[in-house]
Amino acid sequence: MDEDDVARFHRDGFVHLQTLLTDDEVAELEVVYDQFLRREVPVPGKDYCDMAGDYGRDPADYSIINVMLPRRYYPAWQGNVLERRALQVAEQLQGAGMALDYDQLLAKQPHKEDAVFAWHQDMAYWPDTPDTRAATVWLAIDDSTVENGCMQFVPATNEDPALRPHHPVFGGRGTSHALGTALQPGDDAVAVPIRRGDCTVHNERVMHGSGGNLSSGYRRAYVVAYRSMDTLETERALGLTHSHNDDVDVLATVGVEGQTRGRAS
């Protein structure tokens, strides 16, 4: 990563970094990743769910398999090569005092037109804190393409004066946790195809989402999100760990349950 990458991240709200991990390093993570997908690593309750549907869906029909907090359910991943390298990236981009807030797997099954990740800003999901710095590192396990639903961003929306209004996509905490907001006139979305082992890194305010998987293969991503240590302290004091099984409803703490987070800018 060079100075231009850092400047791009701050200007656009995201950056694409090539070869965060080598093919061998990805291959090692992939073994465990696929154990999660085959449900050989037990994941309780809603921490194994579908990001593109409600909690009631039959797991066989999931379009975007979401394993939340894999490092909690497979402790040997704690401190793995992705976490080590991503922390360095997060601190280079956002400065000192960053720490891992949560990790998740997002795997779009083949031939799933509805494996759509609604447009959103991550801040809509999170409690407001004085130091909102974030760097979410999205590692491609498969080559991520327009056809299989790669990440898309609306550059520089991190500079919008206000968070956009977000709504639950499938009904609310009882049925799903996905939030979304519509694109606005003038939003110029860009698709960002990346290779296996590459990553994108985005901040807490940039608009992003992704389209369905029209290919015959998986689109697997492993995501680690870094935020300021102060924010982590506040979140944990609220009882928030980003598990979908948390007793505390993160959407309620940010005022979304059944209503809207953010406001029109």
Ligand X SMILES: O=C(O)CCC(=O)C(=O)O
The site for ligand X (CB under 6 A) is made up of 106, 117, 122, 136, 138, 151, 208, 210, 221, 223
Taking the least distance from each CB to ligand X, the nearer of 74 and 120 is: 120
Residue nearest ligand X (C-beta atom)? 210
Q: In the 8-state DSSP scheme, what is residue 92? A: H
Instruction: Give the residues across from 103 on adjacent strands.
Output: 224
Q: How far is the CB of 120 from ligand X (least distance, A)?
A: 7
Taking the least distance from each CB to ligand X, the nearer of 43 and 135 is: 135
Cα 132 to Cα 11, 122, 203, 212, distances in angstroms: 17, 11, 9, 30
Nearest to 74 by CA among 95, 47, 96: 47
Taking the least distance from each CB to ligand X, the nearer of 80 and 142 is: 142
DSSP strands (E only) in the chain: 14-17, 48-50, 64-68, 98-108, 117-120, 134-140, 151-154, 167-168, 179-180, 190-191, 199-202, 207-210, 219-228
Q: How far is the CB of 3 from ligand X (least distance, A)?
A: 25
Q: How far is the CB of 143 from ligand X (least distance, A)?
A: 14
Q: How far is the CB of 219 from ligand X (least distance, A)?
A: 8
For tokens 């921490």, the residue is: 47
DSSP strands (E only) in 69-175: 98-108, 117-120, 134-140, 151-154, 167-168
Distance between CA 78 and CA 134 in Å, rounded?
20
Taking the least distance from each CB to ligand X, the nearer of 134 and 237 is: 134
Taking the least distance from each CB to ligand X, the nearer of 77 and 117 is: 117
Q: How far is the CB of 200 from ligand X (least distance, A)?
A: 9
Nearest to 210 by CA among 124, 153, 151: 151
Taking the least distance from each CB to ligand X, the nearer of 12 and 122 is: 122
Q: How far is the CB of 8 from ligand X (least distance, A)?
A: 18
Distance between CA 61 and CA 98 in Å, rounded?
37
